[in-house]
Structures are given as structure tokens and as C-alpha cells.
Chain A
Amino acid sequence: MSTTTSGLGARPGLWVGLILGTCGLIFGLKASGAINDTTTLLLAIVPTALLFALFRSLANQRENRCGSTSQAGKRYIFGIMATSIAYVLGLGVAMWVFRNLDPSVELTWLLAMLPIAPILAMIFVMGRYIVEEQDEYLRHRAIMASLIGLGFVLAIGSFWGFLETFELVPHVPGWWAVPIWAMGMGLGQAWQSMRHKVGPVDEE
């Protein structure tokens, strides 16, 4: 059995670089006052679209390493892709309306739900993957990665929280918990991949 590893589809690092690059460019243009809120929101479509390519290349890479992606793995990748894009769009729309249209309190509650709902869905997708994954080793890795992510949240949250209590650092919104958890999970998976490096598909 062989799987194609060539082409842009098999290089997630390239897509991560492009996403960070475009986000940095948009942020720089916004910070310098070269573009307004509406243009920023429109330009945000570019990194959002690049997320599609990133998830596709991650799926390809997973297939190359594992031989094939399980049904649970496919549902997980699709779920994370859908919720990530919904989160970026929801956050963008909510922020733009909140800053530009002076919404009522009732509408503000609804706006706040736009990024919250995808985040809750993302947590559900992760939990469902752990329940549904039939490959016990991959399930073990996912659980370890999520525990590492949780460790990051608890450590950084406690560290920052006490510094904040003693008025040494500014307040940070609680929603940072999920991005820190996701970052910790990513680092956890990367760490496990480095430790458990597997050879190419054709290795006997």
C-alpha cells in the first residue's frame, strides 16, 4: 500500500505559515490604520479559507502516517474544521456588529453566542472523538494530548490569576481557556509524534 505524500496537500506547516502570515498582515494593516473594520472583516476571509487547506493537508498527513483515517478521525477533522470556521466567522461578525452598529442588550446577548456556540461544539467534537475512536493507541494519544492541554490551562490560569490578584498584570478574558487548551493539545500531539516517530508507509 502506498499513499501520495508529495504536493502542497501534505505540508501543513506551509498552510500554518500562510495563515499566520496573512493574519499578521491584516493585523498590521489594521493597527496602522490603513484599513477599517469592514475591510478587516472581509480580508479575514483569506486566512479562514486557508484553514480549509490546512485541515485537508492535516487529514492527508494523518492518512500517510496511520495508513488510513478511521471514521471517527474523519468526523473529528470535519467537525473541528466546521467549528473553527464557524468560530472565526462568528467572532468576526459579532465584533463588527458590536463595534459599529451599537446593538441593544438583547442583540448583544445573541452576538455573544456567535463565537460561544462553535466553541462548545468544538469541545463536543473532541469528546465524541475520544468516545468513538476504535484504535486504542490513537485514542490514548488524543487523551494524553487533551490532558496536556488541560495542564496548560490550569498552570497558565493559576499563574496569571494570582499575578492578576496582586495587580501585577492586566486582566485577561476567560475565553482564552479554550485557545490555550487547543495550543497545549497541539503541543502534546507534536511532542508525542516526535517521541513516537514512525517511518514511511512502505517500511516493512
Chain B
Amino acid sequence: MKNRLKVLRAERNWSQQALADELGVSRQSVNAIETGRYDPSLPLAFQIAEVFGMAIEEIFSRD
């Protein structure tokens, strides 16, 4: 699965740690999701979408 997490984060000038704090997860988790090494669960994907104020499909897409 592909995602636009890094771009969206850069647009808002958020660090990985800031996003991790917002989501209540570790910085490692944000890094792993951002680099496509880990696909988040549906609840976490919804949470990420909520933090960015976007729909899930605007952030995540199929390869």
C-alpha cells in the first residue's frame, strides 16, 4: 500500500515525533508506515485520516 504521509506531514511542518504524539503511537510506527514497511490497521488509518482532516483514500492507496 502507498501513502502520502511524508508529504502531508512536510506540508504541515510536523516532525515524525509530533505526528506520533498526536496519534498516540511511537515514532518508529510513524516511520514504518511512512516508508511503506508497515500497513496500519483500519482503526489507526482512520485516526491518521482524522488527524490530517482528510479521507483515508486521500492518504492511502493501492500499489
A contact residues vs B (CB 8 Å cutoff): 1, 65-68, 70, 134-138, 140, 195-196, 198-199, 201-204
Contact = CB atoms under 8 A, between A and B. Distances in A.
Given A67-B17, A204-B10, A204-B15, A134 B33 contact: no
B37 interface: yes
Contacts of B31: 196, 198-199
> How many B residues are at the interface, by size bracket?
20 to 34
B16 interface: yes
B21 interface: yes
Nearest to A136: B41
Contacts of B29: 135-138
Q: Classify the secondary structure of B's interface with A.
A: helix
Q: Classify the secondary structure of A's interface with B.
A: loop
A11 B9 CA distance: 31
Q: B24, B29, B38, B41: which has the most chain A beta carbons within 10 Å?
A: B29
A58 B15 CA distance: 24
B27 A198 contact: yes
B26 A196 contact: no
A140 B28 contact: no
A159 B37 CA distance: 33
Interface string B22-50: 00111111011101011011001000000
